[in-house]
Structure formats: C-alpha cells, structure tokens
Structure 1
Amino acid sequence: MSSISKSPIAAALLGALAIAAVGTAAAQEAVVGAGDAEALFTSPDPKLHANKQVVYRVVRDLLEANHWELAEDLITERYIQHNPNAVSGRAGVVAYFTQVLKRAPTPIPARISTPIVAVTAEGDLVTVLYPRVLPDKADPSKTYSTTWFDTWRIKDGKIDEHWDPATRD
C-alpha cells in the first residue's frame, strides 16, 4: 500500500478530485429536447392532462407566439410571480412581455417549436424543462449546456402561480 493511500488527508483529497473530475465530465453532456415535445404535454390522468394542456397553450400561444391578448383565458388575475424581474398579477406578466421585452405577436403555430426536455405534472403543478445554452464566463468564446425550468400552479384551469430560476437582470 502506498503512503498516499495510507494518509486520510491524501485519500480525501484524491476522492474529492475524482468526484470533481466525474462532475466535470458529466457536465459536458449537452441538454437536448425530446423528439416529440407535443407528447410530453399529455397524460392518461384527465386532471393532469388538462393541467398540461393549459401549460402547453401558455408555451405555444403566449411564450412562443406572443399572443398576450389571450392571457385572460390562461392566467388568473391574481397570478403570483416568483421571477424577480416581473411583478405579480396577470397585468404585470402581460406588461413584462409586451412592454418591457417588447415581444410582438406572430402566428400561433400548429405545433410548438420550443425544444422541451421533459414535462412533469403532479397535483396542481406542472413543470417544463428546456435545454439552454449559455456563454462560458471563464471563456466567452465558448458556451455550455444547462437546463431552464418553469413551474406553474394551475387553479380552475388557469395559471395561478409561477416559479423559474431567474435572477435579477
């Protein structure tokens, strides 16, 4: 047995380096969307299916096509927002996308084009995972792949609350 493997400090250091190396290698895998994103917004459970379909319309009609005039059909008036860049209330989220981000409407597509990794539903919550590519702060000439998520609470067939990992702009 070598003197390195006999030292608890050296063994811990080697273990930490091994874990870091595995973590770095695993982080190199690109996050990719599912082949059939539409199928992810379905469920054999009628309530979960209905909730996923509300979120599907939010992704397609509001986030992709920017038809915020449809927000009244999809978002409660009290809408609770946990993103630090937008205020709560349906009027607040509509203003954020139409006035702050200045997104103009485009035709609503027959199928979504946003890459989707997964959609999960449990009770009144629906979470959508998206692939995301960001610039590498250590080397701005490079990018890395990660995952974004949105979670929505559905109440009476409309989005009532929202979470995502956004930080202040």
Structure 2
Amino acid sequence: MIKKFAVLALCLTGVSPVLSLAASSSLGDGAEVVRPVSQRDVIQEEKNRALVVEFYTEVLSNRRVDLADKYLSADYIQHNPYAATGRNAFVAFFRELFSRYPQSEHRIIRTATDGDLVYLHVFARNDPTDRGRAVMDILRVDNGKIVEHWDVVQPIPETSANTNGMF
C-alpha cells in the first residue's frame, strides 16, 4: 500500500516514477549501467549534441574527412561490423565510400541525447536514384571528442505495411 501511495504521489507531482529512480540499461554481458536522472548535465549534453551535429555535417554531409582529427579521438571505437576501429580507419572507410559514391547523401532528421551519448536519426543514400536507408547512429562523446560509435541501418522499402513513413 505504501509503495502504491509513493508511485501515486510521484505521478501527481509530475515526476515519472521510473525516471525518478534512475535511467538504466542492461548490457549483453549482464552488467548494468545506472545513471540517476538528477545527475544529468543538460548543458554538457547540448554541447555534445552540437559537436556531433557539426561533425556529421562537416565530415559526412560535406565529405570533409580531412577534419576527422578535430572531432574523433585517435582511439575511436567502432561497433559497425563492416568498418574497422580507430580514427585512421574511419578516414580510410569514408574516403573509399565517397570515392565510390560521389553523390551520396547523409541528412540528419532528428537528434536526442542521454548523458555522454548523442543519437542521430538519419536519411542516407548512395545516389539520387537510391531509395535510401534509415540510420540510427549513437555516438559517445568524452572531453570534446567522439570516442565511440554504434549504428543500425534499415533499407527504405518500396512498399510499407503502413503509411507512417520511416521518418
């Protein structure tokens, strides 16, 4: 009964019972990361978002891989199984991609942050005739540099079971 009252009290004050406890996620190896919501630094999160958006715009959209040193740590960690890890590997990967697909497009649709993580929902395609892909990029920022990257890529199908679109 006391537990129900506490949850009701939190709801009535406008505080989500789940968010008031902590933001947590379970990792594949059984470890759990817990970050109390009260410890989030929104100003730093916005700086991280600005850094990642600038990186994405300059390096990927404008094809300026020569600027990678400005944004990526030397020991940049890559989780995409098709790309090697490290800043130099990133540069080599995108130089090859831009050479192969000179009309490629990478456009940020929306962003979100959570602590040191910045999330990008992106429309990407190799050339103007390509239907494209919906991409979710997750980038971790530390001390003003992007240090880690994960992504999930989904081709945009010709037909859909709904009319909601992917963006």
Normalised to the residue count of structure 1, the TM-score between the two structures is 0.55
Secondary structure of 1:165 counterpart: strand
Secondary structure of 1:102 counterpart: helix
Q: Report the structure, 1 or 2, having the larger strand content.
A: 2
Gaps spanning 5+ residues in structure 1: where?
Answer: 1-43, 106-112, 134-142
Whether the 8 Å contact between 1:83 and 1:166 is mirrored in structure 2 is no
The amino acid that maps onto 1:56 is V
The change in CA–CA distance for 1:132 and 1:95 in structure 2 (over 3 A counts) is closer
The change in CA–CA distance for 1:115 and 1:46 in structure 2 (over 3 A counts) is same
- Counterpart CA distance in 2 for 1:78 and 1:71 is 12
Whether the 8 Å contact between 1:66 and 1:103 is mirrored in structure 2 is no
Query: Which of 37, 45, 48 is residue 48 of structure 1 equivalent to?
Result: 45
Higher relative contact order (CA 8 A, sep 6+): 1
- Counterpart CA distance in 2 for 1:146 and 1:76 is 27
Q: Which residue of 1 aligns with 2:142?
A: 155
The answer to whether residue 74 in structure 2 is matched with residue 77 in structure 1 is yes
Secondary structure of 2:152 counterpart: coil
What's the Cα RMSD here?
A: 3.2
- Counterpart CA distance in 2 for 1:161 and 1:74 is 11
The change in CA–CA distance for 1:145 and 1:59 in structure 2 (over 3 A counts) is closer
Gaps spanning 5+ residues in structure 2: where?
Answer: 1-40, 155-167
- Counterpart CA distance in 1 for 2:62 and 2:132 is 25
The answer to whether residue 125 in structure 2 is matched with residue 129 in structure 1 is no
Secondary structure of 1:116 counterpart: strand
The amino acid that maps onto 1:120 is A
**1:154, CA displacement in angstroms?**
0.2
- Which has more radius of gyration? 1
Query: Which of 108, 121, 134 is residue 116 of structure 1 equivalent to?
Result: 108
Aligned residue pairs total 109
Normalised to the residue count of structure 2, the TM-score between the two structures is 0.56
Whether the 8 Å contact between 1:54 and 1:74 is mirrored in structure 2 is yes
Query: Which of 151, 155, 160 is residue 164 of structure 1 equivalent to?
Result: 151
Q: Which residue of 2 aligns with 1:99?
A: 96
- Counterpart CA distance in 2 for 1:150 and 1:102 is 22
Secondary structure of 1:117 counterpart: strand
Structure 2 counterparts to residues 15-54 of structure 1, below 5 A: 45-54=42-51
The amino acid that maps onto 2:74 is E
